[in-house]
Amino acid sequence: MRPTLLLLHGFPLDHTLWDANVEVLRSKVDVIAPDLPGFGSAGLTGLEVTMESYAQAVLEDMDRRGIGTFTPCGLSMGGYVAMALVERAPERMAGLILCNTRSTADTPEGMIARETTAREATERGMDVIARGMIPKVLGRTTRAQNPGLSGNIERMIARQDPQAVAAASRGMAKRRDRTDVLRAFYRPALVITGAEDELMPLPTSQAMVEALPSGELVVIERAGHLSNVERPDAFNAAVLGYLDLLASWERP
Ligand code: MLT
């Protein structure tokens, strides 16, 4: 059986975030890219959705599909969910890929900003959120050189359900520091970030690599927070290289 790679999108996005990656990665593994509860076409499950409950929904989906072990690859909020998965079901994790994310919890200021985002989404609408987020989620090179991608991402954000965005924002504020989960993960892991990611500056990725007993860091130049769409070739190459490493680790 081919190994399974589970792609977990960031906030406030949906599975189409992975459109530039899925086919290429399928050359090596089976790829599943679901919508997290409330996003894309997936139904919302509550007014506040914690990272643990996203992880639970993902595990139930994998059970329904008959998939035992898999490698989660989560970008930003998807990375928080991936770490919650590792905590919840470490025996089912073949590997781990964390992209443009952090293992630490929100600061008190960060938690206040989450509530502001939740209220803005429901009171002012997703167009306002989308316009405000573009300068933060895309690197300066992408914004200068790829207006088409900026438009796609803005539309992806704008079409999300404001209630789901509020629920995720409140859920992210509640997440705990999971650096200890990384310290206990002994299989090979990959950390990817963009050199122009201002939301998750390089030290957050370096800290995760230091915590992981067998972690490797790939920094993608000229990419910001959405490294998988800003530089898909570099991103896909990093993931394919890691999948080769994982396969040789499984068969020493
Ligand atoms: C994301 O891209 O998922 C968000 O930036 C995560 C966050 O706000 O912490």
Residue among 75, 120, 115, 116 at smallest CA distance from 98: 75
d(CA 227, CA 210): 21
Confidence of residue 45 (pLDDT cuts 50, 70, 90): confident
pLDDT for residue 9: 98
Q: Tokens 């969910």 correspond to what residue?
A: 81
Confidence of residue 48 (pLDDT cuts 50, 70, 90): confident
Count the alpha carbons within 13 Å of 25 in the hemisphere toward its beta carbon.
25
d(CA 9, CA 81): 9
Domains of the chain with bracketed CATH:
4-104+176-250 (3.40.50.1820)
Phi, psi of 118 (to 5 degrees): -60, -45
* Omega before residue 162 within 30° of 0, cis: no
pLDDT in tens, 125-146: 999 999 999 999 999 999 999 9
For ligand 1, what atom is nearest to the CA of residue 200? 5
d(CA 156, CA 151): 9
User: Pseudo-torsion of CA 47, 43, 61, 31, nearest 10°?
Assistant: -110
Per-residue three-class SS string for 143-203 = HHHCHHHHHHHHHHHHCCCHHHHHHHHHHHHCCCCCHHHHHCCCCCEEEEEECCCCCCCHH
Confidence of residue 14 (pLDDT cuts 50, 70, 90): very high
DSSP-assigned beta bridge partners for residue 189: 96, 215
pLDDT for 251 beyond 80: no
pLDDT for residue 252: 60
Which pTM does this prediction carry?
Answer: 0.97
Provide mean pLDDT across the span 14-42.
97
Residue nearest to atom 9 of ligand 1 (CA): 77
Query: Which DSSP letter does residue 90 get?
Result: G
pLDDT for residue 222: 98
Determine the distance separating the centroid of ligand 1 and the alpha carbon of 11, expressed in angstroms. Answer: 5
Determine the distance separating the centroid of ligand 1 and the alpha carbon of 44, expressed in angstroms. Answer: 18
Mutate which of 8, 11, 18, 138 for ligand 1? The one with the most ligand atoms within 8 Å of its CB, which is 11
Mutate which of 98, 170, 172, 200 for ligand 1? The one with the most ligand atoms within 8 Å of its CB, which is 172
pLDDT in tens, 160-202: 999 999 999 999 999 999 999 999 999 999 999 999 999 999 9
pLDDT in tens, 211-246: 999 999 999 999 999 999 999 999 999 999 999 999
Ligand 1 — pocket residues by CB below 6 A? 10-11, 76-77, 172, 199, 225
For ligand 1, what atom is nearest to the CA of residue 79? 3
Mutate which of 17, 75, 76 for ligand 1? The one with the most ligand atoms within 8 Å of its CB, which is 76
pLDDT for 1 beyond 90: no
